[in-house]
Amino acid sequence: MLRLVPAEAGTGIVFRRIDLPGGPEVRALWDRAIESPLCTTLVEDGVTVSTTEHLMAALAGMEIDDAVVEIDGPEVPIMDGSAAPFVFLIECAGAVELAEPRRAIRILKEVRVGDSRAWAALRPGPASAFSFEIDFPHPVIAQQSFGVTLHNGTFKNQLSRARTFGFLHEVDKLRSLGLARGGSLDNAIVVADDGILNEEGLRYADEFVRHKIVDSIGDLYLAGGPILGRFEGFRSSHALSARLLRAVMTDPSAWSVDDMVEPMMTPAWETGPLAATA
């Protein structure tokens, strides 16, 4: 179960574990993230919240700055494997302006992590722009690239419905280890040797790389506000995104805080519970 609750200006995004005594909270910030290849996990005072990236991407794309996210377990529900259900939840609640301006993280110089095989970088730029390139040794995916600037609904219209994906042999291995028990064709694109197993096919011809951008947007929203700069990823991962954000935020010469013209936003009212397989 997941519920969005309005919050005061300056709260940021906070996860509240209502299944635990006292409802401990985990703030959605870069220094709470641990490097993980398969999802983004936040840890604070021994309390964890995993699989935060799709919800964080939806909050970033819908320009929600302050909210409390109540969940009744250690994982954000996976829903259909995309950010679209969370966008729908935010649209149903609506948003209200708060009495403080939005604060953005402006990138002042290039910062890059990784190597020639896989890397991620942030560079100066006038807006929140994301580009990504993937290269898989499988004919269904192969090489794909995509780029987008976040403005005027581009997240909802061009990215939000792109689903996470995995290979059939990886799913079988995870299940043999007791993991991914809730995974199915309802919440991921599953790629087999001879094609994808999902009967409805792909939502975009390049859905795979678009979803990688969704992940990157969610991971970088852990900066504590929107990024004013250009993110570029090449075969990157959640772990590299966490490493990149840590490299930027621990270097005072790499960024500054800018007040934006737009006010901070929070959900207009508490949403009803949203439940799905975690």
Q: Judge whether 232 and 120 are in contact, CB under 8 Å.
A: yes
Give residue 182's pLDDT.
52
Question: What is the predicted pLDDT for the residue at 16?
Answer: 98
For residue 278, the 8-state DSSP code is: -
CATH annotation of 2-267: 3.30.1700.10
pLDDT (average), residues 143-163: 96
What mean pLDDT is predicted for residues 14-34? 97
* Separation of alpha carbons 32 and 109, rounded Å: 24
Q: Two tokens at 45?
A: 């005072």
Alpha helices in the chain (DSSP H): 53-61, 84-93, 154, 168-176, 207-220, 238-249
Question: Rounded distance, CA 98 to CA 100, Å?
Answer: 6
User: Picking from 27-31, 177-181, 266-270, which range would have the lowest pLDDT averaged per residue?
Assistant: 177-181
Helix (H) or strand (E) holding 248: helix 238-249
Burial 199-238 (b: 16+ CB within 10 A, else e): eeebbeeebbbbbbbbbbbbbbbbbbbbbbbbbbbbbbbb
Give residue 270's pLDDT. 81
Residue 272: count of CB within 10 angstroms of its CB:
12
Q: What is the mean pLDDT of residues 221-244?
A: 97
Predicted confidence (pLDDT) at residue 175 exceeds the cutoff of 60: no
Residue 183 has pLDDT above 70, yes or no: no
Q: Looking at residue 248, what is its pLDDT?
A: 98
User: Residues 74-84: what's their mean pLDDT?
Assistant: 95
| pTM for the whole structure | 0.93
Q: Is the pLDDT assigned to residue 275 strictly greater than 80?
A: no
Side chain identity at residue 267, one-letter code = P
The predicted structure's pLDDT at residue 179: 45
* 151 catalytic residue (yes or no): no
Name the percent of the chain lying above pLDDT 70.
92
The strand pair at 13-17 and 67-71 is best described as parallel
Mean pLDDT of 147-168: 94
Q: 49 exposed, middle or buried (CB, 10 Å; 0-12, 13-18, 19+)? A: buried
Is the pLDDT confidence value at 116 over 90? yes
Q: What 8-state DSSP symbol labels residue 178?
A: T
pLDDT of residue 177: 45
